[in-house]
Structure 1
């Protein structure tokens, strides 16, 4: 089991969000799956409102809309005794809306977004097709270990694209 310190933050006005212990377990499952559990790890997960998520996405990605999850990896200039992974900002209203649109349970989608963001902090990406396939397969495997079905399959068995 990963030695994980989680700084869990809820923005003002957020009333619907997963419990901190659930978020902790999803990050730990990701670290354990990737065997990144031999050192102490710290990260922040912030559940943001729409306006904050849109502002951050615009400021850091030049995209003027709120997205489901933003990742801000920490790149340490020196070796530290604790690995600071970075920060995740997850937009509550986008995650809830996507879950409804994709006919998924909200908690399953929250789980997916935390795992997805954690993978970004660990250096995974989905810009290139081969990277996307690798990252999505890791997500599927971790989610399956938690009893959650493939998030990239709709009820019609069609592939979904995440951005």
Structure 2
């Protein structure tokens, strides 16, 4: 699995940790082991431009996903498709503010956002209440099991 992490900010980012959560989520979702993913950390100015350009919404946001080959989660007994999953763009400064509001660590917020972004790349959405329940429960379970496997406690 090819996972690139690009930090274009002044924030310190443990690239290995984001590769690790990505590998975990992709494995749990039965994504082909040769799939490609890129995670970019950007500043608020860059995120604002992307948010306005692609979503027509003002200001920065926490995470955006840009799917490429429209890969979907694999199913048991079915060979997963190989290809480029896409890009996730995260804004650490927005994530830090959200973490403070939610009462958990910034790293946990960014791991949550990474999981959220991967699910979007795999076709999950939260526009409708039922979709939101499904996606948010799945991301919660993925993050909690990842953190539990590392012996970490989470407030997420």
Shorter-chain TM-score: what band? Answer: 0.7 to 0.9
1:28 shift after superposition: 1.1
- TM-score for the superposition, normalised by structure 2: 0.84
Per-residue CA deviations over 1:8-59 (Å, capped at 9, x if unaligned) read 1111xx23243111001111111122122x4311111100000000000000
Aligned 8 A contact 1:69 1:89 in 2: yes
Give the structure 2 partner of residue 5 of structure 1: 2
TM-aligned CA distance change 1:89 to 1:132, over 3 Å: same
Matched residues, number: 141
2:125 alignment partner, SS class: coil
1:74 partnered with 2:74: no
- Ranges of 4+ aligned residues in structure 1 off by more than 3 Å: none
Higher-helix-fraction structure = 2
Cα distance change, pair 135–44 in 1 and its aligned pair in 2 (3 A) = same
In 1, distance between residues paired with 2:106 and 2:95?
7
Structure 1 unmatched ranges of 5 or more = 152-163
Shift of 1:82: 4.2
Residue 48 of structure 1 pairs with residue 15 of structure 2: no
Counterpart of 1:15 in structure 2 is 10
Higher relative contact order (CA 8 A, sep 6+): 2
Spell out the pairing of 1:14-163 with structure 2 (5 A cutoff): 14-36=9-31, 38-75=32-69, 82-145=82-145, 146-147=147-148, 148-149=153-154, 151=156
The structural deviation recorded for 1:64 is: 1.1
Partner of 2:74: none
When the two structures are superposed, what TM-score results if normalisation uses the length of structure 1?
0.80
Residue segments in structure 2 that go unaligned for 5+ positions in a row: 71-80
Residues 143 and 150, structure 1, Cα contact 8 Å, conserved in 2: no
Q: Deviations over 1:81-124 (max 9, x none)?
A: 84101111101110111111211111111110100001101111
